[in-house]
A = this chain, B = another copy of it.
């Protein structure tokens, strides 16, 4: 199946935002064996949307639109496609109730233009919007499939993952089954990983091997195609075994997971809870930990000890420790981890102290980070990192390293 992604929105053509939706959808579609041959961006203009649609009709089977499903007058994607296809728009009762519920929950009065959001192409499969009002939809006609998705990424991405992909897979003519598996690595760069796997990557055929780097992590997507699903899985298993022989100690998980999620699973299995002391990371570790539902059993709380006073007053770090070694030190990290666990009644204490940047601190260059991990009443183990990113990247990487170290400590 060949696909094209059409983003509708003048803000894209004015350079106000990046078309991150096209990137997200392309990566997802690659994973299920759909070839994306074109991205198009067009403004909120019915004539030009219509022309883009006519062009796409000639060259693509699956046409995915993002944007233009909202309540305002310049949201015209649905209307333009309906006219082009000669289909009516009909009120979707479920979507309407969910929009009404949204307003009543928020004690807000619904303006009439919001009703427009509940209109769908008559005969389409409606895709629920769990994070907003406008539903998505998939409409099929004459071997063409038209999927309409909302523009805001925080609505579009979960909708596509939960409802869009299954809907597309159901439409794919499946002589062959496509099976895909993502291996997730931490602590090895993309170039190093590729070098270790160079011969496998060069001679790839079935499964395909697609490495992709993101912030501090590298993934490899294995995709196999076979008439039998079991045989496709076997092909992937065999290739995974070869990869694991070489870089297996860097693997931390499969498919849709994260270091924090893997950490949570381990904590739950062991019935242990964490407390945190964060200086340079400013609450990022705790924020991520509490972003998972059910965090309360695994997390006792913590302190964002951004100043030396907070370290001393809230976490009882000895003033002498800071005077003698500084706040950016192994000694400080150790006391922070141990005291956080004790004061918050947790099995495990983790601490982050260091220099996010851009400026140096206490004579340490930006990127210097100490992570302390205190567990089972033993003196905290401290790791020193020397990172080299921007302020934001150093903070993010420090948090990921913290998760990684905790995972390894829990695995023993």
Contacts and interface: CB of A to CB of B under 8 A. Distances in A.
Interface of A: 9-20, 22-30, 36-44, 48, 51-52, 55, 59, 70-74, 101-102, 105-108, 111, 113-114, 130-131, 152, 154, 158, 180, 182, 189-192, 194-195, 201-202, 210-215, 221, 223, 276, 278, 280-287, 289-291, 293, 295-296, 299-307, 309-310, 313-314, 343-345, 356-359, 367, 386-393, 395
Contact of A343 (B15, B71, B299, B313): B313
B71 A191 contact: yes
Given A300-B306, A309-B345, 11 more contacts: A11-B210, A13-B36, A15-B23, A15-B25, A16-B27, A22-B41, A38-B48, A51-B59, A71-B190, A283-B285, A313-B344
A300 B12 CA distance: 39
Nearest to A27: B15
B293 A282 contact: no
Nearest to A399: B287
A282 B291 contact: yes
Given A70-B190, A72-B211, A344-B309, A291 B15 contact: no
Contacts of A101: 388
Contact of A14 (B43, B223, B285, B309): B223
Given A26-B15, A201-B73, A291-B391, A301 B285 contact: no
A345 B111 CA distance: 46
A364 B131 CA distance: 20
